[in-house]
Amino acid sequence: MQQDKNLFNPGFVPEPEIYIQRRIGRGAVKNRTEDLMDLVYLWDNQVEPDTEAWLFLHHTSMTAYFKIEETNPRAEIKEHMGRVCTDSACELFLCLPDENEAFVTEETHPELFYTDADDTALGRLSAEGALQLPFKAQAEHHLYINIEVNALGCIYAKYGRSRQNRIPFTEEMLKALEIEVQHFADHWEMQINVPYSVINEIAGFKLMKPGCVFGWNLCKISETPEIEHYASMADIDCDHPDFHRPQDFLTMLML
């Protein structure tokens, strides 16, 4: 997909593992759907609906935006914290650094803190490039969040350091999430808006501010055999379906 030069600096290499992004107003998301990127299907899939997505950063929240070319998405779970993975669902993963590795500053990385009137957001850097960040998501060490939502807007959300013994979102946390689902003739779209206050509460410190670094991934899933599918923004290094691999997540630096 052709990328908007205002969002992605064309001088950077493609297929990055590290993204750098300036914050934009939440209302600007609807006007930036051309910035969505294709998710890639992994493992064995019965269907492969084309899915585009992106994670937009705002001043007090972030929005995971999905566009799925699917006309009749399975949507049978009608309550929060049910097995929405059996429906046609979208999922946001966030991996949170420890406080001592969470931030870069203008002193440590001056090349990142320039201003450009033409840039709404900065673009992409490869993990193999010169940029060295203090954080890289690690399995079984870092807290990570997964927020999964079906086409009815029903949410399954937990956090923890592994797949086991994950902690469910409280009722207050679930209420703080804003879900918008729209159905069209040939596709459907979803926005998952997560206030930074929820992320900071889970992190245990004020993580979400300019200079912060965190892990992330966006996924499309259904575990129902007839429509089973698994798409991901990040490349998952596993021989069987498993999105719960923070070591494979992408990295985001917020400016």
Q: What is the CATH number of the domain that holds 109?
A: 2.60.40.1190
| The overall pTM is greater than 0.85 | yes
| String of DSSP letters for the chain | -PPPTTTS-TTS-SS-SEEEE----GGGGGGGGGG-EE-EE-S--S----EEEEEEE-SSEEEEEEEE--SS------STTS-GGGSSEEEEEEEEPPGGGSB--TTT-GGG----TT-SS--EE-TTSS---S----TTTSEEEEEEEETT--EEEEEESSSSSPEEPPHHHHHH-EEEEEE-SS-EEEEEEEEHHHHHHHHTS---STTBEEEEEEEEEE-SGGG-EEEESSPP--SS-----GGG-EEEEE-
Nearest Cα residue to 127 out of 217, 19, 21: 19
Q: What domain range is 64 assigned to?
A: 19-254
pLDDT, position 255: 82
Pairwise CA distance, residues 16 & 129, whole Å: 10
pLDDT, position 126: 43
pLDDT, position 233: 92
pLDDT, position 131: 62
pLDDT, position 109: 74
Length of the chain: 255
Asked, for residue 81, whether it belongs to a domain, the answer is yes
pLDDT along the chain (255 residues), means of 10: 34 53 80 82 92 94 96 95 97 96 83 53 48 76 96 97 94 98 95 98 96 94 95 90 90 88
Asked, for residue 189, whether it belongs to a domain, the answer is yes
Asked, for residue 5, whether it belongs to a domain, the answer is no
pLDDT, position 191: 96
Quick one: how far is CA 174 from the chain centroid?
Answer: 17
Interior/surface letters 216-239, b for 16+ CB within 10 angstroms, e for the rest: bbbbbbbebeebbbbbbbbebeee
pLDDT, position 68: 96
Q: How many other C-beta atoms lie within 10 A of the C-beta of residue 244?
A: 17
- One-letter amino acid at 254 equals M
Nearest Cα residue to 126 out of 234, 14, 235, 40: 14
Asked, for residue 218, whether it belongs to a domain, the answer is yes
**Assigned token pair, 138:** 């690690």
Nearest Cα residue to 55 out of 20, 97, 11: 20
pLDDT, position 113: 64
Asked, for residue 13, whether it belongs to a domain, the answer is no
Asked, for residue 9, whether it belongs to a domain, the answer is no
pLDDT, position 112: 67
The domain total for the chain is 1
Nearest Cα residue to 78 out of 158, 154, 149: 154
pLDDT, position 118: 44
